[in-house]
Amino acid sequence: MLYNPLELEKKWQRIWERDELFKVEEDPSKDKYYLLEMFPYPSGKLHMGHVRNYTIGDVVGRYKRMCGKNVLHPIGWDAFGLPAENAAIDHGTHPEKWTYQNIETMKSQLKRMGFSYDWDRELATCDPRYYRWEQLIFLKMFKKGLAYKKRTYVNWCESCQTVLAKEQVENGCCWRHTDQEVSLKEMDSWFFKITDYAEEILDACDQLSGWPERVLSMQRNWIGKSHGAIIRFPLDHSDGEVEVYTTRQDTLYGATFMCFAPEHPMVKEIIKGQPQEAEILEFIERTLRLDSYVRTADFTEKEGMFTGRYCLNPVTHEKIPIYVANFVLFDYGTGAIMAVPTHDQRDFEFAKKYGLSLRVVIQPPGETLKEETMTEAYEGEGTLVHSGSFDGKGNLEALDDIADYLESEGLGHKTVNYRLRDWNISRQRYWGTPIPIIYCETCGMVPVPEEDLPVVLPLDLKIGPNGASPLPLEPSFYEINCPKCGGNARRETDTMDTFVESSWYFYRYTCPDYKDGPINPKSVDYWMPVDQYIGGIEHAILHLLYSRFYTRVLRDLGYLNLDEPFRNLLTQGMVCKETQECPEHGYLHPDEVKDQRCVHCQAEIITGQTLKMSKSKKNVVDPEDLISRYGADTVRVFCLFASPPERDLEWSDQGVEGSYRFLNRIWRLITDHLEDVSRVPSFDGKGDLSALLRDLHRKTHQTIQKVTHDIEERFHFNTAISAVMELVNEVNRFLGSGRDMGDLACSLVREAVEAVILLLSPVAPHITEECWRMLGHGRSLMETPWPGFQADALEVDKKLIVIQVNGKVRSRIEVPASFDQKEIETEALKDERLQDFIGEKTIKRVIVVKDKLVNVVV
């Protein structure tokens, strides 16, 4: 009988579905285990990244189930988003149709992989039954001031035709369109007040012991907490004042000028009527037109313009000039800085360029700096000078003293600053959750009454050829009467960032049909937090930060009693593959290469770098092709065997073949010896075993121990699989040794074979299920307990002792297991090979490591 994965996998998938083996209910009598993989965007079909992510999860899920846990393992669809609209523009398909077609395709692919999802909990975020709750949460946030609207400079992506959050800008470009530079645009946008939770989210990082340090450090970095002071500088020409934020209040006496960010609203006020007003406005406009990457790049020179106005240094009372400068960031601190050219390199360069004055206020130890001779700023520690009553103090201790002084004089105060900005959630897009707000001509901004939810996204609209959202052009959507006064009103036509949907979907999985609110408290109490979350590192900031924020919002709205959603996080590595290039035709798809030549022009191909699989590099492998060639089990085995999950996986067609061969070996092992093995029960632990049988018995239990440890403690499936391979090799050796196969021998082989099946079943569920039934078992492996190992089976009667001379291995001896240290030493010193090495030399010392080695120092 040949191994026919396609037929056999289909059969078991049908049976699992028929018997509803993946369904799960709340059961207070059982330990719950919430296993979650990041839900996919329904982009068309599954790619290898999905397959790897979901395979890792499925192994954990099946393993935990066999260990007796009540496992929640849901899946759904992150179904709003721009690609659906792009498809609509390109192919004229409506986003809804496109999305649901993709869901159908990908769902059947997931099923073909044999993943153990509870499909009854499936959700799609573009379904009004989902997003209506998101709108309700929005309204509650709005009422608490956690959602607010403001006019400000925002990041605009021309390709997306929409605004982006700060987190969605990478190197000055859009996170989706990595070659589309983001520009600044002044407009009204909705924000979530994530900054209110900055401190809490940052603090809680220390408690997330189940998260990779890498992710935590990225989050801490992103929040960017710093300690400093706000200092107020009075304007010279009016009663106004300018606030600056600094972490270096110790250098305040050396502040000889001030710089505004070009966006700062005060600039326009103070230059009004100045002779250089027009010129400055032109400079501001020119600077803001630059995309943020160019503006902040290393090669961009620091530039500024004098505003014609002065302010007063609050401690020296000197008049200092006010500049507008391109390098000052509007959205950090107060958007204005005090410049201390002697102790800040950027300020130094700026001062030199524009001939501004310098004053040293920190002298380094054993050196005296002079303004006229300085060639760069001194940013180190030292003693304060020219700093009034603070002269002579160390600059670090003066940090606090000066801040206290400012506070007592009413000139400023200590403060903590964060780099994190509020989350801009407005999107000028169609395929998203409508923001439930109405603008009334008389009442102003009015929230949609809760009983009117959901604000349904109309599905009968066509996206224009320029890609812009049809919502602002559709009177039947935006024309509405004010719910308060009944007068003329207009709906908000922005939709929400799709990251809002993914910030709470894992709560909805616990109660997908709950009708009385977004979250059923009973279900959430039972299932949350997520015990294991698995996904790509690319969400280290975006999705994971937003989810941590949203959890706190939901908590403070009274929906849950929880601070952190994800107890343990596993960030799996990327799936990579060699690129192949033709000098003529560029990157080539594997199908376009034959015998190392380009199929179009016969040119020899160049093998390029190993990079993340991507359509643009054409170094992709279609999971569908693999499944129909080898079956899902082979794909699963390879994904896990090739590397540990957190590392990148390098694709290897030959490695896949190897995994397929391994499953074939198991298949033959069982089918070839089925008669022998099925006529006896598995070894019951009774009876005297010969040394050979005891070795096999021991290997079986060692393997159970190792596989359990590798999965349970560290998710190292690659070593778990190799341990099973070793056991298979051992059984084959045993069977090939031509021994007489008595009942006892058969029962031990059966024990070993059953261990192979059980241990491998989370990884390759189909073939193992088939083998399990062949051995006469009636129930699914999913309902079979995970095997335990017997400690007495691990016992050995002889131990191998390594003998070293001066730390180098020179010999090995076997001693009875009962030997103690002294006996081992005596026995080792008798060893002939050792004696040869020692020769005439005198033994200085002998180190004995119990049960392991003897090191003789001569």
**Could you count the other beta carbons within 10 Å of the beta carbon of residue 735?**
18
Q: Which is nearer to RNA, 139 or 223 (CB)?
A: 223
Distance CA 855, CA 845 (A): 8
In the complex, the smallest distance separating the C-beta of residue 586 from RNA, rounded to whole angstroms, is 21
Distance CA 665, CA 710 (A): 23
Cβ–Cβ under 8 Å, residues 22 and 116: yes
In the complex, the smallest distance separating the C-beta of residue 444 from RNA, rounded to whole angstroms, is 33
In the complex, the smallest distance separating the C-beta of residue 113 from RNA, rounded to whole angstroms, is 21
In the complex, the smallest distance separating the C-beta of residue 370 from RNA, rounded to whole angstroms, is 23
Distance CA 249, CA 401 (A): 9
Q: Which is nearer to RNA, 443 or 674 (CB)?
A: 674
In the complex, the smallest distance separating the C-beta of residue 167 from RNA, rounded to whole angstroms, is 8
In the complex, the smallest distance separating the C-beta of residue 781 from RNA, rounded to whole angstroms, is 22
In the complex, the smallest distance separating the C-beta of residue 203 from RNA, rounded to whole angstroms, is 17
Q: Which is nearer to RNA, 223 or 680 (CB)?
A: 223
In the complex, the smallest distance separating the C-beta of residue 213 from RNA, rounded to whole angstroms, is 5
Query: Given CA atoms 116, 656, 532, 424 in this order, what sign does their dihedral have?
Result: negative
Q: Which is nearer to RNA, 94 or 699 (CB)?
A: 699
Q: Which is nearer to RNA, 135 or 634 (CB)?
A: 634
Q: Which is nearer to RNA, 77 or 734 (CB)?
A: 734
Q: Which is nearer to RNA, 215 or 560 (CB)?
A: 215
Structure tokens at 688: 């005297």
Q: Which is nearer to RNA, 616 or 654 (CB)?
A: 654
Cβ–Cβ under 8 Å, residues 107 and 50: no
181 SS3 class? strand
Burial of 484-515, coded b for 16+ CB within 10 Å and e otherwise, reads eeeeebbbbbbbbbbbbbbbbbbbbbbbbebe
Residues 6+ apart with CB under 8 A from 53: 37, 38, 534, 535, 536, 572
306: left (phi over 0), alpha (psi -120 to 50) or beta: beta
Q: Which amino acid is at 448?
A: V
Residues 6+ apart with CB under 8 A from 552: 197, 200, 201, 563
Q: Which is nearer to RNA, 101 or 671 (CB)?
A: 671
In the complex, the smallest distance separating the C-beta of residue 298 from RNA, rounded to whole angstroms, is 7
Cβ–Cβ under 8 Å, residues 546 and 499: yes
Query: Given CA atoms 43, 44, 49, 51 in this order, what sign does their dihedral have?
Result: positive
Distance CA 590, CA 578 (A): 10
In the complex, the smallest distance separating the C-beta of residue 720 from RNA, rounded to whole angstroms, is 9
In the complex, the smallest distance separating the C-beta of residue 688 from RNA, rounded to whole angstroms, is 27
Query: Given CA atoms 670, 672, 674, 676 in this order, what sign does their dihedral have?
Result: negative
Residue 350 burial (CB < 10 Å; 0-12/13-18/19+)? buried
Q: Which is nearer to RNA, 212 or 521 (CB)?
A: 212
Q: What are phi and psi of 486, to 5 degrees?
A: 80, -5
Distance CA 452, CA 613 (A): 45
Q: Which is nearer to RNA, 86 or 811 (CB)?
A: 811
